[in-house]
Structure 1
Amino acid sequence: MQIIDNINTLLGDDLKTVIARGSKLKIAASCFSIYAFEALKEQLESVESLEFIFTSPTFVPDEVTDRIRKERREFHIPKAERERSFYGSEFEIQLKNKLTQRAIAKECADWMRRKAVFRSNRGKAPMQQFACVQDGEPKAAYMPLHGFTAVDLGYQQGNAVSNFVNKLETFNGCILADSVGLGKTFTALAVIKYYELRNRSVLVLCPKKLADNWLNYNRNLKTNIFVKDRFNYDVLCHTDLQRTSGESYGIPLNRINWGNYDLVVIDESHNFRNNDVYKDRETRYQKLLNSVIREGVKTKVLMLSATPVNNRFNDLRNQLALAYEGDAGNLNSRLRTNKGIDEIFRRAQAAFNAWSTLPAEERTATAILNALNFDFFELLDSVTIARSRKHIETFYDTADIGDFPERRKPLSFHCQLTHRSDVIGFNEIFAQLSILKLAVYAPVSYILPSRLPKYEEIYDTEVSGGKGKLRQVDRERSLQALMTINLLKRLENSVEAFRLTLTKLKSNHLNTLAAITAFKETGTDAGFTDVASAFQYTDPDDDDLPDIDSAMIGGKIKIRLSDMDLPSWEYDLEQDLEVIDSLLTEMQKITPADDTKLQHLKTQIESKLASPINPGNKKVLIFTAFADTANYLYTHIADSFLAQRKLHTAKVTGSDTPKSTLKKTYDFQSLLTLFSPRSKEKAAILPDEPAEIDLLIGTDCISEGQNLQDCDYLINYDIHWNPVRIIQRFGRIDRIGSQNKSIQLVNYWPDITLDEYINLKERVENRMVIADVTATADDNILSPQSQDVSYRKEQLRRLQDEVIEMEDLKTGVNITDLGLNDFRMDLLNYVKQNGDLASVPNGMHAVVPSVVKNSFEVFFVDENALIACFDKDISEKLVKELAKAQPMRVVFRDSGFASDDLKINVEQVFRQMSPGTEVRAL
């Protein structure tokens, strides 16, 4: 045995003596270098053959799971380095600097074609590295051998996992903000499975209306298309965070170990965009932060939201704060930014505030992008992933899964309440609603001035660390406006929804007046419950408001009737009751046969069935904001279409039991499967049910997280005040891979002009603006809802004529505008077409050829994409000649100009001759 230490004895020299003509050479090593071939070229030319095995996967495709490239961790020589070493390892820099790669590579390639065979170990099992020279029988063997490079011979000394998991492991959190219809739920399920396979505990927090979507995939159900994956995550609702008793989906809330979850997935995470502090209670946000994330095991946070930025960048900061546990230092140390996260957001918010003051026509996405510092983009690129429909169409090959369907121009209809001439119209009803005081929701406003201080002391709360105060009277004003908005929404929605709401409102007023009468007659003061606090976290865009009767039971805000100005309150209650009775009388006149919009809906469905837009497709999806309207439509549509057309109808609302005209009773998910059998895989889930559902009536409980792309016709029975909701609804059928060539959107609008509609909404919402408190430089801490409705006006106007994307809402800010995804996809597509850049050798291949112009050396990169000249004494003549080429960018040396005048005027020359050129001096 001989010891070869590459100091006293060189492996290369020993091989030169051992290798003879006709020898067979066998090598197993981590890498191979063309410089090793050069060193032994004479001997290798004489061998009969070389068999080389890369001991770790090299020049072979990576394992692919869910089409996401993944590379396992390697603790010796990474795969990219092994492949790059073929052109010379990092220790062969002196050899590479000779720029002889091209000649050596050609000789080596010719020799390899004739005599060499290369293979790679594709598995994860370790292999012994060695070299063996044979002449009939083994002549010499060398082990261990680290590699076959010039260094190893002694002549020269010297996607981890998916993007989401990378971000979760690196930054402890990530926001998935893909646009509607791109499958955020399935992406999240893939991440969940990754952690479950590692024995991690997972919690999904979602709005109550979306709970059924998640529960379908972690239960042993026929409708679970992932039943073989055996998901085992827990599902709870956002509202469960503040509950201390009872059960939620089988989990006892008084015994749940909140701090034991390794991963929390928050669906609709924008519901946690506010982090206000109240002295009398722990908010939902604080409960999540303190009890779930900070306590117990280290918790990673995956947030899902198509709209994580509402109208301020602090929305985004508050969500990200969940990932770094409210301590910015946890994230700052991992970011590649010059500033910390707090400073980045402070500057971004300042830029946003300035942008918000611009005229509507100037308040574009481009304007805000130009105003933001690059650190902000770097931050978002680190902790968010946001892809739009256009992004998918531009950067992904959709050949395997299909394209998006063609969108037809939306059909817009403005229907009267009724054709009857003895019933007042929208404008008259709106006028009466605007005079309602809704005094029943504002008892604090009627407390006697002398008695008010004691209630202020008890119920007024400080916010944001004592920088402001939220008064109970302010909550009441907000509730009054919220209830007025709710009445308007229900009127726009349907006669039935409006009628039922008026009935409940009348009942509340009668009960309150009865309590006042009883107090005056008997003197018994049972007190009155102010329900405003139950509504203080309610978003005006929400349709499902807390129930008034439930809020009054056990309510904390108790007001003694003896402390109130009862005559004034009683008078206002009676005035409101008079208006309510008047409106109810009008609504009682409208029967289903007199309901213009209901009858028009039937006609529109008949028209679609008579002339399908895709051959044989009879499916129609009808969305409405309220369960009352869904029940109303089902009652008056289902039986008639079953009798006349033999078509089955189903209704799902999320608040009551699903119904259908089928003989069997089916649950929520089963009905959706029967409505969209192809996308929901009915053949595997419900093979014994021959019938299908063609008409589906649903609330917004199915506006997110559902793939219903078998349907090609969607009807909005109401236009939601937030246009994003309309886009979300349409995303149920506007999905990639649809079997339909085209799809149709139908919208029903109130029978008034858009300007009248917007103005009325604006007047009502402006009543929600409560006392201005200057707490921070960010925004009004008491009213985070935007007061500027002009951008929604433009969105709604566009919705009448086209189907718009959320990223196309030019007057707003969308997170898809703020990342670096497009740039990254450009790079990935380049790699796909030209090979992995990590494997491209350094050296002569990175040299740009130069051209001599006017005796100056000029470099042209990618035709005219970049022109550079680093010579001295550059003349004005050369500058003008380069400007004529109109490059995208031009670079000079700062000290390279012939005169200071030319140095000062060079940008002016390009501005005149090539205004699109970016000029830089180094």
Structure 2
Amino acid sequence: MKLVNNTGSDRVIDELRKSLVPKSALDVASPAFSLFAFAELRDYLEKLEACHIVLPMLNNEDLGLTGSVTDRIFRNNLQLRWLAQECADWIKKKVDLRISASMLPQSVFIAGRPGLDSKRVITGNCPFTTEGLGITPGNQFSLIQCSENPEESAILGTWFANLWNSLADSKESKQAFLDRLMNIAEIKAPSLVYYLILFHIFKDVGDQLDEERVVKSATGIRNTIVWKKLFKFQRDGVIGAIDKLERLGGCIIADSVGLGKTFEALAIIKYYELRNDRVLVLVPKRLRDNWTLYKANDRRNFLASDRFNYDVLNHTDLSRNGGTSGDIDLAHINWGNYDLVVIDESHNFRNKSTHNDRETRYDRLMRRIIKEGVKTRVLMLSATPVNNRLADLKNQISFVTESDDIALINHGISSIEATVRQAQLQFNRWLALEEHLRRPSRLIDMLGFDYFKLLDLLTIARSRKHIEKYYGIDETGRFPERLKPINIKPDVDIAGEFRSIREINDEIRRLNLAAYAPLRYVLPHKQAAYDIKYSTQIRGGESYFRQVDREESLVHLLRVNVLKRMESSVNSFALTLTRQLADVKAMLEKIEAQTKAVEEIDIEDVDIDDSAF
């Protein structure tokens, strides 16, 4: 007997090809049978006189009909259905097949012309698979032997004959195997492919979708007023957010305006308060009353019986070392003692600016609240978590991951920064396309899977159309339709006695306003000295706010203000002339009430020296 290394040119498949000449026979006993191994020997097997096969009683996966992980290159050829049909046809014509009730200890191949003693016998750890035949890399320590003389062939041939004769000659066994092949060969419905994809995506999720596992009933959350006030879609949002907070440490609720992000957040806050967790809510100053109301002894507080006990601070309080914010003394607050921090309008923290001489709000939030002290979960609320750059999202995600770029590596995101950077690059390329090519569907394809996986991991974002489609309108009613703005430009001067706004603007632009731009009159050789004297460093010296720019901006602002005042006066006068213009004003006020409030502008970081004026 000689040993077969099963690599290079010394493989089982090479030995078989030498013996599988036309009109020869093949006897096989194997614990596995792969269609891709059949494909490699198909031309030889078709010319056989006869073939006997013994297989164990296994299902398709254990038998290896569709191959293993090493057969990906073969599966990518998309020939599996065709191979199954070809194999079934070959078995019908050439093969006698018997099934063994027990697992076969090893494989045996006996190849050669019928009636001759010089048959080649191969035995050992070499099943009828691509690995077993040496087509793809297998176990390098497998022991495989090949006979070299008639005596050895006769002994092993007797062993196979005894095995064959011990098994029942059953047509049902062959038909059962053919049925397996035909099941693989038949055309599958597209829906089956879809269900199979869903199975592989969610098979490892287990009880993560179990509501009771996510939201423990023992906390009493379902008995609270705020929980009972929620619609079904809001409760689902709360459950999803709590699941992300528990598994990943953070979540961004990015539902569209008007879908109740505040009440979803209140339900989440109450859930953690019932677990005796301490909660901090960070809000823009203009929205402070929206949050303090629900913890106040106030008749307007319809959630008073829930007895909320969270702390409320303004975003700007993060820049202060002392003073009070409401009833909280900022000099003595224990920043690191919060189990949950809720950031309303979290997109205000999308820019991660740095100063050499002091901490920014972003830095203080990250260091003193999130990183220091107890483990802090972060819930962010924003209808626009991404504004101008996709990096806006990365800076908010950093609160969840504590700036750890590989924090989500176990969830398939090897680098958060690289994922966002690549998505930004693709977004820039999409913007550079011609207008007729800039379609949302193309952008989705270009951004790639990883970016959307990152969004799915940490965000909950539903639109009104989503709610209507998947939850219906029986509970919520139909959302009001958002009307497109109507541009109305009425004639303000019916008698034709007023000059046009364009002419007035041209007259204003002719004004020098010299008192507001004195540097225009400084001698050229003195310009640099005055520029150094009055210009202001900003952002720790990263750039300068030049005095000449300040003056020109002021002049422009004054011109605009004068024009606005004149326009307002003319409009006021005109509105008294006709009832139609009064209706227009009411319509404009209604449109203005429906638009989103202008984002709070923070100029605290810019130190303007007005001594020049």
Q: What is the TM-score of this pair, normalised by structure 2? A: 0.52
Displacement of 1:439 after TM fit? 8.1
Match of 1:716 in 2: 592
1:335 aligns with 2:411: yes
Deviation at 1:371, TM superposition (A): 0.8
- Asked if 1:231 is matched to 2:107, the reply is no
- Give the C-alpha shift of residue 193 in structure 1: 0.9
Which letter does structure 2 place at the counterpart of 1:308?
A: P
Structure 2 partner of 1:244: 321
Which among 225, 248, 266 is matched to residue 171 of structure 1?
248
Please point out which of 61, 71, 75 is paired with 2:212: 71
What is the CA distance between 1:313 and its match in structure 2?
Answer: 0.4
| Contact residue 206 and residue 238 of structure 1 kept, 8 A | yes
Distance between the aligned counterparts of 1:472 and 1:123, measured in 2? 58
**Mapped partners of 1:602, 1:289: distance in 2:** 51
2:479 maps to which of 393, 404, 408: 404
The 10-residue stretch of structure 1 (244-253 or 312-321) with the greater mean CA deviation from structure 2: 244-253
Distance in 1 (alpha carbons) for counterparts of 2:341 and 2:253:
13
Partner AA of 1:71 in structure 2: E
Per the TM alignment, residue 197 of structure 1 is displaced from its structure 2 partner at its CA by 1.0
1:321 aligned to which of 375, 398, 401: 398
Listed as ranges, the matches of 1:394-793 within 5 Å are: 394-406=469-481, 411-415=486-490, 421=496, 423-431=498-506, 448-450=527-529, 452=531, 459=537, 461=539, 469-473=542-546, 477=549, 481=553, 484=556, 498-499=564-565, 586=566, 590=570, 592-595=572-575, 600=580, 602-603=582-583, 623=589, 714-716=590-592, 727-728=595-596
Give the conservation status (yes or no) of the 8 Å contact 1:459–1:471.
yes
1:185-264 alignment, distance < 5 Å = 185-264=262-341
Verify: 1:362 aligned to 2:437, yes or no: yes
Structure-2 change in CA distance of 1:361 and 1:72 (3 Å): same
Could you say which structure has the greater relative contact order, defined with CA pairs below 8 angstroms and 6 or more residues apart?
1
C-alpha distance in structure 1 between counterparts of 2:261 and 2:513, whole Å: 41
**Residue 338 of structure 2 contacts residue 376 of structure 2 at CA under 8 Å; is this kept in 1?**
yes
Q: Is the 8 A contact 1:242 1:284 kept in 2?
A: yes
Q: Structure 1 residues 483, 264: CA separation in 2 closer, same or farther (over 3 Å shift)?
A: farther
Match of 1:650 in 2: none
Q: CA deviation at 1:587?
A: 6.4
| Cα displacement (A) at 1:192 | 0.9
Structure 2 CA distance, aligned partners of 1:378 and 1:727? 32
CA drift at 1:482: 8.9
Question: SS in structure 2 opposite 1:293?
Answer: helix
Q: Give 1:386 deviation, angstroms.
A: 0.6
Give 2:420's aligned amino acid. Answer: F
| Shift in alpha-carbon separation, 1:448–1:160, aligned structure 2, 3 A | closer
Aligned equivalents of 1:483 and 1:69: distance in 2?
A: 63
> RMSD over aligned Cα, in angstroms?
4.2
Aligned partner of 1:370: which letter? D
Where 2:213 maps in the other structure, the secondary structure is coil
Q: Which residue of 2 aligns with 1:540?
A: none
**Cα distance change on mapping 1:350 and 1:604 into 2, 3 Å:** closer
Give the 3-state SS of the residue equivalent to 2:383 in structure 1.
coil
Q: Aligned partners of 1:308 and 1:479: how far apart in 2?
A: 35
Question: Using a 3 Å threshold, how does the CA distance of structure 1 residues 398 and 598 change in structure 2: closer, same or farther?
Answer: same
Q: Find the aligned partners of 1:350 and 1:727 in 2 and give their Cα distance.
A: 32
* 1-structure distance, mates of 2:264, 2:363: 27
TM-aligned CA distance change 1:370 to 1:278, over 3 Å: same
Query: Quick one: distance in 1 between partners of 2:280 and 2:369?
Result: 10
Q: 2:456 corresponds to which letter in structure 1?
A: D
Q: Measure, in 1, the Cα distance between the counterparts of 2:452 and 2:335.
A: 33
2-structure distance, mates of 1:598, 1:300: 58
Deviation at 1:360, TM superposition (A): 3.8
**Pairwise mapping of residues 21-420 of structure 1 onto structure 2 (< 5 A)?**
70-72=211-213, 162-329=239-406, 331-337=407-413, 339-406=414-481, 411-415=486-490
Contact 1:180 1:727 in 2 (8 A): no
Distance 2:242 2:538 in 1: 44
Q: Which amino acid aligns with 1:314?
A: A
The whole-number CA distance in structure 1 between the counterparts of 2:530 and 2:490 is 50
Report the alpha carbon displacement of residue 356 of structure 1 after superposing the two structures with TM: 2.3
Q: Is the 8 A contact 1:205 1:236 kept in 2?
A: yes
1:459 partner letter? Q
Kindly tell me: are residues 416 and 335 of structure 1, through their superposed partners in 2, closer, same or farther at Cα, counting changes over 3 Å? Answer: farther
Contact 2:238 / 2:265 at 8 angstroms: preserved in 1? no
Provide the secondary structure at the position in 1 that maps to 2:546.
Answer: helix
Letter of the 2:324 counterpart? E
1:729 & 1:293 partners in 2: Cα distance? 29
Distance verdict in 2 for CA 1:390–1:264, change over 3 Å: same
Q: Deviations over 1:17-42 (max 9, x none)?
A: xxxxxxxxxxxxxxxxxxxxxxxxxx
Counterpart CA distance in 2 for 1:435 and 1:224 is 56
Q: 1:323 to 1:180 in 2, by over 3 A?
A: same
How far the C-alpha of 1:387 sits from its partner, in A, is: 0.6
Q: CA separation in 1, counterparts of 2:484 and 2:215?
A: 53
Distance 1:74 1:224 in 2: 25
- Answer whether contact 1:415 1:596 (CA < 8 A) is retained: no
Q: Percent identity?
A: 43
Larger radius of gyration: 2
Determine if contact 1:220/1:227 at 8 Å carries over to the other structure: yes
Once the two structures are TM-superposed, the CA of residue 272 in structure 1 deviates from its matched residue by 1.1
Between the aligned partners of 1:485 and 1:596, the Cα distance in structure 2 is 29
- Which amino acid in structure 1 is aligned with residue 291 of structure 2? W
Q: How far did residue 247 of structure 1 move? A: 2.6
Give how far 1:405 is off: 3.5
Kept in 2, the 8 Å contact 1:171–1:323? The answer is: yes
Distance 2:554 2:347 in 1: 20
Distance in 1, matches of 2:349 and 2:577, equals 37
Residue 451 to residue 362, structure 1, CA distance change in 2 (3 Å): same
Greater helix percent: which structure? 2
The residue identity in structure 2 corresponding to 1:371 is M
The 1-side partners of 2:336 and 2:517 are apart by 40
Separation in 1, partners of 2:555, 2:312: 31
User: Cα distance 1:486–1:419, how it changes in 2: closer, same or farther (>3 A)?
Assistant: farther
Change in CA separation of 1:379 and 1:409 when aligned onto 2, cut-off 3 Å: closer
Q: Which residue of 1 aligns with 2:88?
A: none
Distance 2:317 2:298 in 1: 24
Shift of 1:600: 4.8
SS in 2 for 1:217: helix
User: 1:74 offset after TM fit, Å?
Assistant: 12
Cα pair 1:417 1:596 within 8 Å, conserved: no
Q: How many residues align?
A: 371
Letter in 2 for 1:603: D
1:319, distance to aligned residue in structure 2 (A):
1.3
**Does the CA contact (< 8 Å) of 1:174 and 1:323 recur in 2?**
yes
Q: Is the 8 A contact 1:202 1:234 kept in 2?
A: yes
1:264 aligns to what SS in structure 2?
A: strand
Give unmatched runs, 5+ long, in structure 1: 1-67, 76-121, 125-158, 464-468, 500-585, 606-619, 624-713, 718-725, 731-781, 783-922
State the shift of 1:291 in Å: 2.5
What secondary structure does 1:459 align onto? strand
Structure 2: where are the runs of 5+ without partners?
Answer: 1-208, 220-235, 599-605, 607-613
Instruction: Give me the whole-angstrom Cα distance separating, in 1, the residues matched to 2:297 and 2:329.
Output: 21
In 2: Cα distance, 1:410 partner to 1:323 partner: 38
